[in-house]
Amino acid sequence: MNNKLILGIAIGVAVTIALIVSFPRAPVNTADAQSSMDWSPTQPAPKLDVYYPGTEAIKPNEMRIVALGTGMPSVRPKQAAACWLAELGNGDKFLFDIGSGCHERLAAQKIPYDYLNKVFIGHLHVDHMGDLPSLWLGGTVMNRLVPLRVWGPSGATPEFGTARSMENMQKMYVWDIGTRSGVIDFRGGALEVHEFAFDGVNEIIYNENGVVVRSIPAVHGLDGAVSFVMEWNGLKFVYGSDTIPNKWYVEYAKDADVAIHECFLPPTLLVTKQGFAPMEALMVGTQGHTSPEQFGKVMSLVEPRLAIGYHFYNDYDTEPEVRKRVRKTYSGPLELAVDYMVFNVTKDDIRVRMSAIDEEIWPSPALLKKIPPDTRSAISFSEFTMSGALGFPEVVNPIFDEINEMYGTDIKPIFTQ
């Protein structure tokens, strides 16, 4: 090895050490910072900057917001379609939009389903309501025993409104409902629908337990799209759902603690990554949705404590470009959300972390006592279908005996032959 090479390696090592010393990993929240002296070969790791659902109490004055869907109508493993969970220190929990694929992320929060009974839908695009049937009917086998309550806007005419959409959804799933009635405690299958006027400006649509939710019009798709403003305990949360920049959002989101607004990919990336034609990219990206520059302009007028952009495929090669363009028009606090990002919001602090997810999720036990179903309301098979069933009594009867003995019941199989 010649002297120059040795010198080069020595300089390289010195520079590396200097970099490590001068850029230690900065903890996001200094209250949780622990020195490296806390590490031990026999003790658990010091507190990491990760959120583990189901393990943290919400403080009485805190709002916890979880991004459960931040992507596009086409769901992909990394990002479901639009859905945001807001949990309050008073115990209330609210879902804002319930887009395709988000139910899986919601289940990962390990929250009993009876608490997940309030859904606010900003508009009736599939990426904002696609998993509603799954939460509604799937939720009944996850032990939700209370009705699912749904708030959504009217449309230009009744057939474009939320109430009609919910009526049609119940018709669409009549077979599914038929299989469950009289078989399980199906009280959770009840739907409570609250349609409100899409053109109400800052009208109260929910006011319970100290929580007020207002609706403001959005400009997106057709008449019948809205954004939401939720206020509780001096905290203001604004959820845009989908909208191009509009005067109502700028006025009523003002001074929000957290302001969420769509932030689409710039038209350049809609062409190169999404495969849009230039015309489509410009029209969809700036006239039907909000480009990063437009998003930044909105936030520079709203001046929230934290601006959150979502609704784009957020990857290593798109996020820097989106951020750069937002920064042309907005210099305040900013997050560009991905699924499972968590925001703990109080008057003094906004903490942002990612979640670690347990994939093997089971339902929480029912919070209410289950009522045995009225089997008379069960729909029976035709004689034709019954004639094909193989009851295998020699196999099935012992299974019934086992449960009847364990729980003191006297349940009999349907198929006896």
Contact footprint for Zn ion (CB under 5 A): 125, 127, 242
Closer of 257 and 339 to Zn ion (Cβ): 339
| Packed helices 319-326 and 292-302: angle between N→C axes, nearest 10 degrees | 50
Strand partners, 334: 307
Q: Distance between CA 284 and CA 314 in Å, rounded?
A: 18
- Report, in Å, the least distance between residue 124 CB and Zn ion: 9
- Complex with Zn ion: residue 27 or 73, whichever CB lies closer: 73
Q: Are 364 and 112 in contact (CB under 8 A)?
A: yes
What are the structure tokens assigned to 213, written together?
């939710």
What is the rounded CA–CA span in Å between residue 213 and residue 120? 9
Q: Of 110, 175, 176, 121, which is closest to residue 148 (Cα–Cα)?
A: 121
Beta carbon of residue 133, minimum distance to Zn ion (angstroms, whole number): 18
The nearer residue to Zn ion, 145 or 270, going by C-beta atoms, is 270
Q: In the complex, what is the shortest distance from the CB of residue 98 to Zn ion, in angstroms, rounded to a whole number?
A: 12
Rounded-to-integer distance, Cα 85 and Cα 63, Å: 10
Q: Which residue, 195 or 242, has its beta carbon nearer to Zn ion? A: 242
CB 125 within 8 A of CB 221: yes
Which is nearer to Zn ion, 182 or 288 (by Cβ)?
Answer: 288
* CB of 370 vs Zn ion, minimal distance in Å: 37
| Helices and strands, counts by H and E, the chain | 13, 16
Q: CB 263 → Zn ion: shortest distance, Å? A: 12
Q: How many Cβ atoms are within 10 Å of 11's Cβ, its own excluded?
A: 10
- Within 10 Å of residue 17's Cβ, how many Cβ atoms? 10
Give the span between the Cα atoms of 225 and 227, in whole angstroms.
7
DSSP notation for 73-134: SS-BTTB-SSEEEEEETTS-EEEEEE-TTHHHHHHTT---GGG--EEE-S---HHHHTTHHI
Nearer to Zn ion, 155 or 188 (CB): 155
Closer by beta carbon to Zn ion, 66 or else 263: 263
* Structure token pair of residue 370: 């289950």
What is the Cβ-side half-sphere exposure of residue 110, based on CA atoms within 13 angstroms?
Answer: 14
> Least distance from C-beta 237 to Zn ion, angstroms?
19
At its nearest, how many Å lie between Zn ion and the CB of residue 235? 25
Shortest distance, CB of residue 311 to Zn ion, whole angstroms? 6
Closest CA to 218 of 326, 314, 120, 306: 120
Based on CB atoms, which residue is closest to Zn ion, 143 or 243? 243
Two tokens, residue 132: 């509603």
Closest CB to Zn ion among residues 15, 222: 222
Minimum distance of Zn ion from residue 276's CB (angstroms) = 15
